[in-house]
Amino acid sequence: MIRTDLLRNCKVPIPYPATFLDTWDDVHVKMPCSNGNLFPVDDEKKSRWDLINETLDKKFTNVFQLKEAVLNYSASHARKWDFTALDLYCNKVLERDAVEHLFDSLLPDMVQLALRASELCTKPIPLLKRGMSHSITMSQEQVACLLANAFFCTFPRRNSRKTEYCNYPDINFFRLFEGSSSRKIEKLKTLMCYFKSVTEQKKAKQSFLCSSEPTGLVTFSRQRLDKPPDWTSSPTLLTRLHITCEGTIEDDGYGMLQVDFANKFVGGGVIGAGLVQEEIRFLINPELIVSRLFTEALDDNECLIVTGSQQYSKYTGYSQTYRWAGCHHDTTPRDDWRRRCTEIVAIDALQFRNFLEQFHPDKINRELNKAYCGFSYSEKESQNLAAVATGNWGCGVFGGDTRLKALIQMLAAAEAGRDVAYFTFGDNQLMTDVHDMHSFLTQRNISVGEANLIIVKYCTSNPYFKIKSAFSFSFNKTVASLTHE
């Protein structure tokens, strides 16, 4: 989608090809600017993109006018879509001068960015479908254009679960605008910070300033695991573990493969009600959100790796206490392709409504394969792969046992040849327990295969095990008894 041979510092990458290639089929994203994007008027069909241009390319002075504009080309949703959150953000949260800036400057800039779709996104964007291993690389400017279109809800066939995109995440932002939850307000603050940043880039460019804003690339790679390891016979020994109750994956995982505790629909509830680890990462690194446009739901043996996304916001809190804490200036170095040296892997854990279900050998094997699929990915052949920066993957709302999940990730990382940096997010006891389990296994040179057999034996011999905090102690006793048999 870009000319990699013409990449230059402080220069926005040049789209490839030079002119828009219109494609309207089942293997590419259906673009709003396509000639295939039509709507019926009396006995004929007219271009929806023409209507979008005509409707958006006007001055808005309030949320009602913006809502009417969006509903003008989304008429079938007029009775369903609710812009309460956006109205509260503009009229109850923003100061008067900020509201004026929003309608006089920021929204017009976002409109112009969105309407450049046929100029910036000239190459058809392939869908990353189930069962395929494929990568898409696009410029940060192209990503910004696509996200501006998502904000104005222009993507066709993406507003209902009854369309051909039923197995893809939502991309249009209409769910972000509805309701009166404080979560939505904080999400809007975070995302408007991003749009302010990327639209100011253009002004800096026009003023001949060397902007530190997005002039690079982002790569999205869907990875499929075709041949999982034999977890019962692997001779691989555990790798090193650094575990701490302080810090975060995004702040302290520089240079590491950073884990996104994903939903199978990547991004989870980022433009809906969700606001836990994955949603927060997608908010502060909004370029991740565009993956929802083309990434079909992940299968049990698949993951998504995003290289080069930029952080635009700071935050405090988690879930109900999440608060936007201002703009972030990302100083992460760039690679030869002008991508930020930030690599994020989205792996979706199983959700357990019955706590005991996760201790079944089949479920453990699935989680091992999922983690290994993500951890084994590497763009370059190397004997020294970066460590995995992770934490309580698949826990919390997903119902996973923190100690079991930590052990699963340690085994998968070892098999993939990576050390582990584990962040317990303030849980001192978990830090101690996981450290003790790791030390217990490494001091006895217990292999991945042996550890897996021990886990299975332990779990099957404790069918009514319910006390989460006792897992590491009981597991260590099991290891000790088995290694002395």
Is position 367 annotated as part of the catalytic site?
A: no
DSSP 106: I
Q: How many CB atoms lie within 10 A of CB 132?
A: 13
Output the 3-class SS for 7-34: CCCCCCCCECCCCCCCCCCCCECCCCCC
Give me the sheet containing 420-423, strands edge to edge. Answer: 134-139, 217-224, 302-307, 343-348, 257-262, 388-390, 420-423, 241-244
Q: How many CB atoms lie within 10 A of CB 149?
A: 27
Q: Rounded CA gap, 159 and 165, in Å?
A: 9
Give yes or no for a contact between 421 and 252, defined as CB atoms under 8 angstroms apart. Answer: yes
- Residue 422 among known ligand-binding residues: no
Q: Which of 178, 213, 278, 415 is catalytic?
A: 278
Q: How far is CA 371 from the centre of its chain?
A: 16
Give yes or no for a contact between 465 and 359, defined as CB atoms under 8 angstroms apart. Answer: yes
Q: Rounded CA gap, 89 and 62, in Å?
A: 11
- Residue 312 among known ligand-binding residues: no
Asked, as a colleague might, if the bond just before 17 is cis with ω within 30 of 0, I would say yes
Q: Which of 186, 213, 250, 260 is catalytic?
A: 260
Q: Which of 178, 186, 250, 279 is catalytic?
A: 279
Is position 260 annotated as part of the catalytic site?
A: yes
Query: Which token pair is 331?
Result: 């100083």
Is position 44 annotated as part of the catalytic site?
A: no
Q: Rounded CA gap, 133 and 302, in Å?
A: 9
Q: List all residues 6 or more positions away from 314 whose beta carbon is below 8 Å from its beta carbon.
A: 284, 324, 325, 326, 327, 328
DSSP 335: -
- Residue 277 among known ligand-binding residues: yes
Query: Which token pair is 194?
Result: 């991003």
Give yes or no for a contact between 120 and 144, defined as CB atoms under 8 angstroms apart. Answer: no
CA angle 64, 68, 74 (to 5 degrees): 140
Instruction: Indicate left, alpha or beta for 225 from its phi (over 0: left) and psi (-120 to 50: alpha).
Output: beta
| Binding-site residue ranges | 263, 277, 318
**Catalytic site positions:** 260, 278-279
Numbered residues of the known binding site for substrate:
263, 277, 318
